[in-house]
Structure 1
Amino acid sequence: MPIWSPPFSLSFRAGGSITAKLRTIVWLMVLPTLLLSVIAGIAVFRAERRAVVNAALETAEALSLVTDREMAVRTALLKALTVSPSLREGRLQDFYREAARLADGSTNTIVLVTPDGQQLINTRIPWGQPLTRSPAFATGMQSGRRLIVSDLFHGPVDERYTFAVRVPVTVNGQAMLLGYGSPATELQQIFRDQPLPEGWLGVVLDRQGRVAARTRDPERRVGQVASDAMRQAIATTDRGVVDARTLDGVPVFTVFSRAPDSGWVVLIGLDRAELAKSAWAAFALTLSISTVFILVALWMVRRMARDIVEPLQKLREDAIRMGGGETVADGPTGVEEIDTVQHALATASRERAGSEHRLRAEIDAAVAETRSAQQAALRSQKLEALGRLTGGIAHDFNNLLQTMTTGLELARRLNSEPRGDAALAACQRATGKASQLTRQLLAFGRQQVGHEAVIDLRRQLPDLMELVGGAVGSAVEVHFKVDDALWSVKTDPVQLELAVLNLALNARDAMHGRGRLSVAADNQCVQAGQVHDLTPGEYVRIVVTDNGDGMNAEQISRAFEPFFTTKPVGQGTGLGLAQVYALARGAGGAATIHSKVGLGTEVAVWLPRTLALLDDAPAAAAPGQNRRYRGRVMLVEDDASVRELTAQSLEDLGFSVVTAPTADQALDLLRGGTPVDVVLSDIVMPGTRSGVDLARTLRVLKPTLPVVLASGHPVRIEEAPDVPLVAKPYEIHAVAAKLAEAMNQAGVAANTGEFLPGT
């Protein structure tokens, strides 16, 4: 007999019962399973801790982005205020009323301060009362980030802890700061909107480590400074985990994440005792499940001993069918335990079939969504590239057209053949049409030079309707009507074209690309109270009407707000109607909307009538062919052909001309004592200075020297001094008249505009 016998029989002989064989297999599995259960439990313990810490870190990162969003909302509000005409023109009392209405009913404060911190406007203090310095709105900001946000400070009015965002503004030519201050208690909304799991501690810190919001006891802890260990950690990295204590003295694992745009920090504190408790619970659960599994397996040995072969064979066959992708039928086998497994197998096969169907549908939807996003991004990139392309093309075309226009004028003066004169006139008409095409390109690229001009809408709108018709598509029926006696208006012509285009494109989208679009312009005499936000007087009304979906009352009330749109996410910026409103208000008028859901929308732009002469009046723009001028002109032009022909044409009209290919060389000549009476300069040139820089420099060096700027490139010149501007291609007689007018206004004794003897 053997010396040692195991507690179970190793029945691997040819004979033996199924019960003995199953019992042997189960016992051989018990010990490894127990060992693996212990190992798995330890792994689950550690994984649970890591999962909780990682979840807290992801939550901190998400809340840091929410914090940036709170700051960005306030910054966007300030940027919307910066377009106010009353602010730009220095009408601070009017702007105070606008800002006070915006801040009315809230605990927020809108402040306008000078760079040294002197308050000019504070919506918490009535207009006219003395205001103190508020350095927190002017200093203490971290300007290296996208959002300019202060740290916590005591509010000058209520002494509560406050934070502020700011944006730079220009008020009547002076640089100032527009600030938006909010009490720190408003940041508690972050934790109310995104509640943390029970036992987690959430904290928002400013860049100096002061508590701005807290899920526990915020009233007592706001303004307190975090621990030294915590501040050292956030000073060295933007994201991490720290073993520290809370301000309440509780030991915690703290994860933190810095908001990328504001620099503020969000902390999530995890109680170490609670964290260990959950990890031990997961470990115990794993061991319990393993133990239950072993006990069930031992119990099943006895139950399957009597009649197990056939049910196992059927179960095997069902498993093979399931592995092949078939659905297993549910049916009794005669063994209760196997019936349970059989039912689970059948249920799993049905769920897998359903999951595969849902997964296939989700994959198809994700692919379609990705394709749509790629197409939208491609369209956006194409439009952006087209905008840059139109600007460059217009610049090159205008230089070519300028050379042709000046050359044709010279040729007409030198020509003595009537037939040749007719041919040259036809060429000049062609260059005029080409110039109109470049202006349409610039309008499409939305990059035109921004200056007000007196506009005859009877000529402006019909030309624009061709562009409108092409933009909305052939499926939209476009109707146009304008009064024969329509008054003139004074506004930015390019911004007006862009406003009408925006309204037409909005109408096209509301009609889903098919419908009836009407554009009309008429004269209106407005009485007091007849139109909201419009003073009594004479106005020109431009009305764009469609028969699209229409808008409800809430959408109408917010239609002119920046960034508000009724289009789906990713299909509209919400700036179109805001631009229309800004144009109308900037010109001294208004914009109104009338709409009904399902019936369409009518948007009206009201522009005040002007009695000023048209900027392109024949008397001013086309002086006589025999008119002679006197004066010394410095012509600054980088294009050699334009420079040579323009200089020759001006000399033929009586001017003496000095040329320079760049603004830098022009300044060298002027500093060297070269005498000139007026400067005619291109804007976009090679070198370190543009024409705008040249005008600003001469305003300081030679304040009495007049400057006229010319350009065919879509640049912004709002920062330039108040100087005359002519657009390329220009007629040489119009430029000569502009130069003479500039010299007369500057008091240059050049006897300009007079006819010389013998002419």
Structure 2
Amino acid sequence: MSIRTRLLLIVLSVWLPAAAAFGLLARSTYLRGADAARQQVQQLAERLNAAVERELERREVMARTLSVSQALADGRYAAFHAEATAAVQQTDSWALVNTLNRQLLNTRVPFSAEGVPRINQRPLLQTGAEVRFVLRGPMSQQPVVGVFVADTVSPPRHNVGVAFNAVVLQQLVEALPYPEGSVASVMDQQQRVAARNREPGRWVGVQATGELGRRAAAREHGFAQTVTLDGVASLSYLSPPNRHGWTTVIALPMRTLTQAANRLTLQALSASAVLLLVGLGLALLAARRISRPMFQLRDAALQLGADQVPPALATGVSEADAVAAALRRAGQHAQQAQQELQARVAAAVEEARQAQAKLLESQKHEAIGRLTGGLAHDFNNLLQTITTAVQLALRVVPEGPHRRALQAAVGASAKAAGLVRQMLAFGRAATLAPRPVAVNDWLLQSEELIKKTLQGRVGLSAHIAPGLPAVMVDPTQLDLALLNLIFNARDAMPDGGTVTIAGREAQADELAGLPPGRYVRLSVADTGHGMDAATMAQAVEPYFTTKPVGAGSGLGLAQVQAFARHSGGLLRLRSEAGQGTEVTLLLPVADAAAPAPLQAGSVPALPGDAARRPLRVLMVEDDALAASVVVPALQAAGHQVQLCENADQAQAVLQGEASFDLLFTDVVMPGRLNGIDLAQWVRQHRPQLPTVLATGFTQQAPDADLVVLHKPYAIDQLLATLASAAAAATAPR
């Protein structure tokens, strides 16, 4: 079958649905137009009804305002006439007052004490409001609308009304744009026409009849086929009655809708005939021009199938040229997609590798954290045993080689405890207790210690900006971090140099990678030998050190970095070989409203008698080695000690009749309760019994008002803390 035949068939196959589509389009257009006309009519009717209701409401408000006049209630009608005249002076309305059989006053005429007899006598309104429409007003001889309300006297003696000419409603009717040939009317509650856009002089005052009158009387609303007063068959919309029972109606003549349908049908037939003729002519013309471009498109498609980019074609047939251009773009996109796919695969492989590396690093830190937490608890108990035993021995060993050896053991225990704290900080096992810390105060308090640490061969320079805001950190961890940095700076300058401590508020361009907020920039810089790139890459890795064996643990910078991250900040390192090193901490500024909490374990100083007072101590310690040295130490100080192996056993003892001056308990122990749980139970059931906690490591933070000793603690520190806690419990409040 030739292209010409196919095109003719295509034209016919397209024309038949198109002709049907024109018919459907004509019908759809007619229905949409009819629906649009209905919607327009409905909207106009409801809009007109709302405008009429506003006019009536405005007069009702005026009438109710006048009805509460004290002059009216007192019967001072001349005074009320003056008030009402002033109230309606700038309006298109007038006020009047009716009794049962007389009209007492009307602001359109001067006040007369006699009034005038009412033309249409009606019972007085008792409540609510009533709208009345009269075709001939007694004064104007024109259609008038009045809104009446009862006065506030019980029972009412007057009806106060505000009236206006119906021409106001006529103006509302004439102000709206109605469809051609339509009729709009306003009807009162008795279905009488009060205003009409066509021939108002003829139809105002006439009562609606037929289907429209029946529907209005039944208070129905919506569309219906009716006949207007002047005999025109119409599609009419009757609005819902407003609050006063008035309605509006807009009638659209049926002939208007019929004429639109006929016009659309004729247009559809004409368009389908023209389409057929044009289609046949174009089909014959196109058949002559399509054959050659089709072959060219076939060749282009074959090239695309061979993963080649087809050339651009200029056949003279825009559709063929567009297809050829699309084939060329498809070939180009296919090549680009292949290249992009290769790049994305490579990027995905690299991203997966980096994610795996981060996961392994995270798992390593988590494992180290768990390991260090468990080790810290047991190791601090061992250190507590060693420290207490050595301190007990120091009390009886005289000066000499043996005493110096014991003192060295005490120093080694303190160094081991510091190493444990570093491990906990790096492994995230330590519980931070952040509070506002002023860097200026820290430097003043630590200056003497820092100078002794620098051993005189290294100079110290400090540049702290005046008014530097406090940082929100754990003060103990801040001490440890800054001292670690100072130690590292000192060790990097074996031939002497200068350590510079600087502090200022960080600038916005220095806060990349941090949440929004204010930060303080603290830096420790030295003039030492610096680090090369390889050393810099490993500087913050745990257990990496460039110091000789035994001179460093390799946890210093790792601990400082962990402290900065856990505090909500960052550590940044800058160093060059031969140019020294600068370590910068970016730490968050403390909230100005945040109170500085008391340090856990802080107790008031005691007089000598209170410190020596023997105490009855209930001690809870699950580690037998620690208990074996701490109990004798307390007993040697004159205290009576009852030892429990766990908190459950201590709870049972406290529920008995035994009396104690103080509870001294470890935190982490086996059983149903730990030390913190026991302290909370004591606070509730034995509130007069003071509690002191001791811990080598715990992830559960105790309450801020509890006294906490961190293992390993000194005997003197233990005795002073117990005495202070007992004295504070018995002190008058």
Greater C-alpha Rg: 2
Scaled by the length of structure 2, what TM-score is found?
0.41
Scaled by the length of structure 1, what TM-score is found?
0.39
